[in-house]
C-alpha cells in the first residue's frame, strides 16, 4: 500500500468529516465559475449600451471574487488541517517518516482540491445559465441567453483553483515539519490561558468607531470624487481598526463586567456560555471583526444597489419625460412618424406636442451654473411661452412640487415683465432665493429685464438640451415679440410624443429612429437629436442592472462565505469543548440545560458580529443617502435596506441554527 492509496483510503473512510471542507470549497469554485462564465460570455462583453463600463465593473468584481475565494479556500484549508493534527501526530508516533506523512497530506489535499474543482466547475456551468438570465432580466433586455459552455471560463476557473489548491496542499505538506510532535498531539489545547485585555485598547476602539461615524455624518458629500477619497479612507481605517480593537478589548471587557455581576452570572445558562466567550473571544477577534466588516460591506453594497435599482423606474421622467422626443422635425417627418407608430402597432399615441423654444443669454447677479460658481455670469439658456409650458405640464403629467427635477409649481398667469425661471442646475442652491430678483435677457444686442415670480428645477425635456441651461417662461405676448425677431438658428423645435406604454415601445422606437437617425444633429449635450423613454430606460438599466447584479452576486458570496466560516469555527470549537461538556454532564447538567447554554453562547457570538456589522452599515447607508441628493431624499433607501437586512438576517440565522445544532450534537455526543 503506497501513500497515495493511504490518502485515498483516508478520504473514503472519513468522508463525513471531509464533507464540510469539500462543500465549502466546491461552493467557492462554483461561484467563481459562474462569474467567469458570465464574464467571458460574448453577449455581455459586447453589450451595446455602456459596454466599456460594464466590462470595467465586471473586471473589478472578478478581482474581488478571486481575492475572496482565495481567502476562503485557504481559511477552510487551515481549519481542515487543524482538525487532523492529532491524526498526523499518531502516524508520526507509529513510525511513519515525516516525508511520508507530508506526502500523504499533500495527496489527500490535492485529491480533495481536484474533486472540488471538477464539481465546482460543472455546477458553475449548470448554474451560469440561470444567473445569466437574472442578469439580463435586471438589465431590462428581453433577449434569450444562448447557452454555451465558455471554454475560456472553464480554463480560467480550473487553472485558478489548481494553483490555489496547490498552495493549500503544500501548506498541508509542510505541517508535519513546522510543528513539534507534542504541539500536534495537543493541537486542541492551545490558548488555555485567560487572555489579557487592554483598557486603553477598549477605549480607543470606541473612540475610533465614533470618530469614523462622526466623519461619515458630517463630511461634505457634495464635493467631487477626489475630495471624498481622503475622508472615506480615514473612515475606513478608523472603522476597521476600531472594529478589531472592539472585539479584541472592548467586548471582552464588557463580558468581564457581566461576569462581575454574580447575580446574573451565577445562572445555569449564563455561567458556561459567558465564561467560554470570555475565554475565546480574543483569539477569535480577527475572525469576528472580519465577519462584522464583511456584513457591513455586504449590507451596504446590496442595499445601495438594490435601492438604486428600485429607484431607477421612478427616475425615468428626469431623463425622458416624453416617451419619444426629437428635435427639429418637419411636418412630413412628423406624419411619417405617426404612421410608423400605427404600423408597428405596439403602442398607442396618447398625446403629441410640437413646441419651440428660443436660444437666449441670461444674467442674474445671484445666479451661476453649478460647475462654474461665478455669480452674475452670462449663461446660455432659452425662453419659452407660458402656453407651451402649460401644454408640456399637461402632456407629460408633471407632478406639483417645488425645487424638484421632476416636478414644478408653475400655475400662475404671467404678466408682462414677469418670468418663471426654470433652472438647469441639478441642485436648488443657486435658484432658491431668486424669486423677486431681476433677470436680464440679452437677445440680438438688446437687454430686457424681467422679474422672477417663481423658480423650478423641472427638467421639462429631460436630458435633451437642458443640462446646465436655464429657461425663462414668459407671457405669450412677451414671447411672441422675441419669436418675431428670431432667426432660424435661434429657434429650436421639439416634437414630443407620449405612448400609453413607453416601457414596451422597443420596436416602435427602433422604427422611429430609422426615420429620424439618432445622429442628424449633434448640438445637444448628449449628441443625440431624439430621445426615447425606452432608449434611456435600456441604457440606464443595462448599466445599473449589471451594477445591481454584481452587488447582489458578491453580496450573496460574502454572506454565504461568512456564514460558513462562522459555522466552521463553531464546529472546531465544539470539538475542543467535548471534554468540558463531559465534565458538565457528570456534574449533572441536563441535555436541556446544555442546549440552552450552547444556544445562548452562539447567539452572543453570532449576534455580536451581526450587530456591529449592522451598526456600521446603518451609518454607511445614511452617508450614502446624502450623496444621492437627487434620489436619496425622495426614495426610501432605508426601506430597501430594511428588506436586504431582513433577508441577510434570515440567511445568517440559518447558519446560526445549523451551528447550534451541530454544536449540541458534538458536545452532547451519543445518547447515554
Give me the half-sphere count of Cα atoms (radius 13 Å) on the Cβ side of residue 531: 25
- Contacts of residues 501-504 at CB distance under 8 Å and 24 or more positions apart, as own/partner, are 501/347, 502/323, 502/347, 502/532, 502/533, 502/534, 502/537, 503/533, 503/534, 503/537, 504/346, 504/347, 504/534
- Residue nearer to another protein on the CB measure, 239 or 277: 277
Give the shortest CB-269-to-another protein separation in angstroms: 10
Return the residue of 178, 260, 514, 586 that touches another protein, per CB under 8 A.
586
- Residue nearer to another protein on the CB measure, 436 or 588: 588
User: String of b and e for 227-250 (b: at least 16 CB within 10 Å)?
Assistant: ebeebbeebeebbbbbbbbbbbbb
Query: How is residue 217 written as a grid cell?
Result: 455624518
- Specify whether the CB–CB gap between 79 and 568 falls below 8 A: yes
Give the shortest CB-50-to-another protein separation in angstroms: 57
Beta-bridge partners for 327 = 494
- Residue nearer to another protein on the CB measure, 485 or 590: 590
Please name which of 328, 361, 373 lies closest in space to residue 464, comparing C-alpha atoms: 328
What is the rounded distance in angstroms from the CA atom of residue 446 to the CA atom of residue 444? Answer: 6
What is the rounded distance in angstroms from the CA atom of residue 594 to the CA atom of residue 584? Answer: 8
- Residue nearer to another protein on the CB measure, 228 or 572: 572
Give the shortest CB-600-to-another protein separation in angstroms: 14
Residue numbers 166-225 binding another protein by CB under 8 A: 192-194
What is the rounded distance in angstroms from the CA atom of residue 382 to the CA atom of residue 204? Answer: 58
Q: Is 6 near another protein (CB under 8 A)?
A: no
- Residue nearer to another protein on the CB measure, 178 or 670: 670
Ranges of beta strands (E only) in 18-57 are none
- Residue nearer to another protein on the CB measure, 223 or 582: 582
Q: Is 587 near another protein (CB under 8 A)?
A: yes
Q: Which residue has the cell 398667469?
A: 413
Give the shortest CB-574-to-another protein separation in angstroms: 14
Give the shortest CB-579-to-another protein separation in angstroms: 8
Query: Among 174-182, 446-454, 580-588, 631-639, which window interacts with another protein (CB under 8 A)?
Result: 580-588
CA separation (Å) from 271 to 275, 372, 577, 589? 6, 66, 15, 12
- Residue nearer to another protein on the CB measure, 618 or 666: 666
Please name which of 392, 408, 387 lies closest in space to residue 479, comparing C-alpha atoms: 387
What is the rounded distance in angstroms from the CA atom of residue 223 to the CA atom of residue 62? Answer: 29
Query: How is residue 99 written as a grid cell?
Result: 516525508
User: String of b and e for 67-106 (b: at least 16 CB within 10 Å)?
Assistant: ebbbebbebbbebbbebbbeebbebbeeebeeebbbbbbb
Query: Among 47-55, 67-75, 542-550, 576-584, which window interacts with another protein (CB under 8 A)?
Result: 576-584
Question: What is the CA 181 to chain-centroid distance, rounded?
Answer: 47
Give the shortest CB-669-to-another protein separation in angstroms: 12
One character per residue 406-435, x = contact with another protein (rule: CB under 8 A): ------------------------------
Give the shortest CB-582-to-another protein separation in angstroms: 8
Phi, psi angles (nearest 5°) of residue 302: -65, -40
Give the shortest CB-79-to-another protein separation in angstroms: 21
Give the shortest CB-288-to-another protein separation in angstroms: 18
Residues 6+ apart with CB under 8 A from 144: none
Q: Is 589 near another protein (CB under 8 A)?
A: yes
Give the shortest CB-270-to-another protein separation in angstroms: 9
- Residue nearer to another protein on the CB measure, 580 or 665: 580
C-alpha angle 555-556-559 in degrees, rounded to nearest 5? 85
Give the shortest CB-268-to-another protein separation in angstroms: 5
Return the residue of 1, 94, 226, 583 that touches another protein, per CB under 8 A.
583
- Residue nearer to another protein on the CB measure, 46 or 592: 592
Q: Is 592 near another protein (CB under 8 A)?
A: yes
Give the sign of the dihedral formed by CA 610, CA 612, CA 613, CA 618: positive
Q: Is 588 near another protein (CB under 8 A)?
A: yes
Please give the full DSSP string across 227-256, using - where no structure is assigned: HHHHHHHHHHHHHHHHHHHIIIIIHHHHHH
Query: Among 2-10, 178-186, 453-461, 591-599, which window interacts with another protein (CB under 8 A)?
Result: 591-599
What is the rounded distance in angstroms from the CA atom of residue 37 to the CA atom of residue 150? Answer: 6
Give the shortest CB-591-to-another protein separation in angstroms: 6
Residue numbers 107-166 binding another protein by CB under 8 A: none
What is the rounded distance in angstroms from the CA atom of residue 27 to the CA atom of residue 65? Answer: 12
Query: Among 74-82, 117-125, 531-539, 584-592, which window interacts with another protein (CB under 8 A)?
Result: 584-592
Q: Is 672 near another protein (CB under 8 A)?
A: yes
- Residue nearer to another protein on the CB measure, 356 or 593: 593
- Residue nearer to another protein on the CB measure, 48 or 262: 262
Give the shortest CB-666-to-another protein separation in angstroms: 17
Residue numbers 256-275 binding another protein by CB under 8 A: 262-263, 266-268, 271-272, 275
Give the shortest CB-265-to-another protein separation in angstroms: 8
- Specify whether the CB–CB gap between 472 and 381 falls below 8 A: yes
- Specify whether the CB–CB gap between 101 and 88 falls below 8 A: yes
Return the residue of 208, 296, 584, 644 that touches another protein, per CB under 8 A.
584
- Specify whether the CB–CB gap between 367 and 434 falls below 8 A: yes
Give the shortest CB-598-to-another protein separation in angstroms: 14
3-class DSSP assignment, residue 410: coil
Return the residue of 14, 59, 97, 580 that touches another protein, per CB under 8 A.
580
With CB under 8 A, what is the number of residues at the site for another protein? 28
Where on the chain is the footprint of another protein (CB under 8 A)?
192-194, 262-263, 266-268, 271-272, 275-276, 278-279, 580, 583-593, 671-672
Amino acid at each position: 500500500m503506497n501513500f497515495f492509496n493511504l490518502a485515498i483510503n483516508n478520504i473514503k473512510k472519513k468522508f463525513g468529516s471531509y464533507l464540510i471542507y469539500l462543500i465549502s470549497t466546491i461552493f467557492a469554485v462554483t461561484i467563481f465559475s459562474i462569474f467567469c462564465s458570465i464574464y467571458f460570455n460574448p453577449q455581455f462583453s459586447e453589450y451595446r449600451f455602456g459596454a466599456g463600463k460594464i466590462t470595467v465593473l465586471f473586471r473589478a468584481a472578478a478581482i474581488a471574487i478571486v481575492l475572496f475565494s482565495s481567502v476562503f479556500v485557504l481559511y477552510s484549508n487551515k481549519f481542515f488541517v487543524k482538525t487532523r493534527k492529532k491524526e498526523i501526530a499518531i502516524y508520526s508516533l507509529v513510525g511513519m517518516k515525516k516525508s511520508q506523512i507530508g506526502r500523504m497530506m499533500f495527496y489527500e489535499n490535492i485529491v480533495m482540491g481536484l474533486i472540488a474543482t471538477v464539481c465546482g466547475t460543472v455546477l458553475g456551468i449548470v448554474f451560469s445559465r440561470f444567473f445569466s438570465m437574472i442578469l439580463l432580466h435586471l438589465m431590462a433586455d428581453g433577449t434569450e441567453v444562448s447557452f454555451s459552455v465558455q471554454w475560456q471560463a472553464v480554463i480560467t476557473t480550473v487553472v485558478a483553483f489548481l494553483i490555489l489548491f496547490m498552495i493549500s496542499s503544500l501548506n498541508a505538506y509542510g505541517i508535519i515539519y513546522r510543528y513539534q510532535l507534542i504541539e500536534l498531539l495537543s493541537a486542541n489545547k492551545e490558548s488555555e490561558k485567560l487572555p489579557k485585555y487592554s483598557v486603553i485598547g477598549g477605549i480607543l476602539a470606541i473612540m475610533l468607531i465614533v470618530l469614523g461615524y462622526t466623519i461619515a455624518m458630517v463630511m461634505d458629500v457634495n464635493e467631487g470624487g477626489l475630495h471624498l477619497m481622503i475622508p472615506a479612507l480615514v473612515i475606513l481605517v478608523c472603522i476597521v481598526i476600531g472594529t478589531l480593537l472592539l472585539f479584541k478589548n472592548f467586548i471582552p471587557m464588557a463580558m468581564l463586567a457581566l461576569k462581575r455581576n454574580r447575580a446574573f452570572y451565577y445562572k445555569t445558562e449564563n455561567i458556561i456560555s459567558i465564561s467560554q466567550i470570555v475565554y475565546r473571544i480574543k483569539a477569535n477577534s480577527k475572525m469576528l471583526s472580519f465577519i462584522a466588516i464583511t456584513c457591513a460591506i455586504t449590507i451596504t453594497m446590496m442595499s445601495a444597489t438594490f435601492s438604486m435599482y428600485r429607484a431607477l423606474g421612478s427616475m425615468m421622467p428626469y431623463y425622458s419625460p416624453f416617451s419619444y422626443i426629437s428635435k427639429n422635425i418637419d411636418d412630413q417627418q412628423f406624419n411619417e412618424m405617426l404612421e410608423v407608430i400605427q404600423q408597428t402597432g405596439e403602442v398607442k399615441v396618447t398625446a403629441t406636442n410640437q413646441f419651440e423654444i428660443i436660444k437666449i443669454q441670461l444674467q442674474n447677479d445671484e445666479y451661476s451654473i453649478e460647475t462654474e460658481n461665478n455669480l452674475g455670469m452670462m449663461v446660455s439658456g432659452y425662453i419659452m411661452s407660458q402656453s407651451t409650458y402649460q401644454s408640456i405640464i399637461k402632456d407629460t403629467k408633471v407632478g406639483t412640487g417645488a425645487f424638484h427635477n421632476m416636478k414644478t409649481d408653475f400655475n400662475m398667469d404671467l404678466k408682462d415683465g414677469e418670468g418663471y425661471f426654470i433652472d438647469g442646475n441639478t441642485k436648488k442652491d443657486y435658484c432658491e432665493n431668486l424669486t423677486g430678483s431681476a433677470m436680464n435677457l440679452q437677445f440680438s444686442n438688446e437687454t430686457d429685464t424681467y422679474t422672477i415670480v417663481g423658480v423650478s428645477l423641472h427638467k421639462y425635456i429631460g436630458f435633451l438640451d437642458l443640462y446646465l441651461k436655464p429657461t425663462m417662461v414668459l407671457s405669450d405676448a412677451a414671447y411672441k415679440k422675441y419669436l418675431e425677431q428670431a432667426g432660424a438658428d435661434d429657434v429650436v423645435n421639439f416634437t414630443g410624443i407620449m405612448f400609453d406604454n413607453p416601457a414596451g415601445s422597443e420596436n416602435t422606437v427602433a422604427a422611429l429612429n430609422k426615420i429620424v437617425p439618432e445622429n442628424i444633429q449633434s448640438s445637444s449635450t448628449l449628441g443625440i437629436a431624439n430621445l426615447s423613454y425606452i432608449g434611456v430606460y435600456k441604457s440606464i438599466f443595462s448599466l445599473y442592472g449589471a451594477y445591481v447584479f454584481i452587488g447582489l452576486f458578491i453580496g450573496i458570496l460574502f454572506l454565504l462565505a461568512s456564514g460558513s466560516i462562522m459555522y466552521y469555527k463553531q464546529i472546531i470549537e465544539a470539538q475542543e469543548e467535548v471534554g468540558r461538556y463531559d465534565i458538565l454532564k457528570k456534574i449533572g447538567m441536563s441535555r436541556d440545560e446544555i442546549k440552552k447554554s450552547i444556544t445562548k453562547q452562539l447567539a452572543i457570538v453570532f449576534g455580536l458580529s451581526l450587530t456591529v456589522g449592522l451598526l456600521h452599515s446603518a451609518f454607511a447607508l445614511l452617508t450614502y443617502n446624502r450623496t444621492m441628493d437627487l434620489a436619496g431624499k425622495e426614495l426610501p433607501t432605508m426601506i430597501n435596506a430594511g428588506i436586504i437586512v431582513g433577508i441577510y438576517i434570515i440567511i445568517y440565522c440559518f447558519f446560526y441554527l445549523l451551528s447550534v445544532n451541530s454544536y449540541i450534537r458534538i458536545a452532547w455526543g451519543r445518547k447515554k
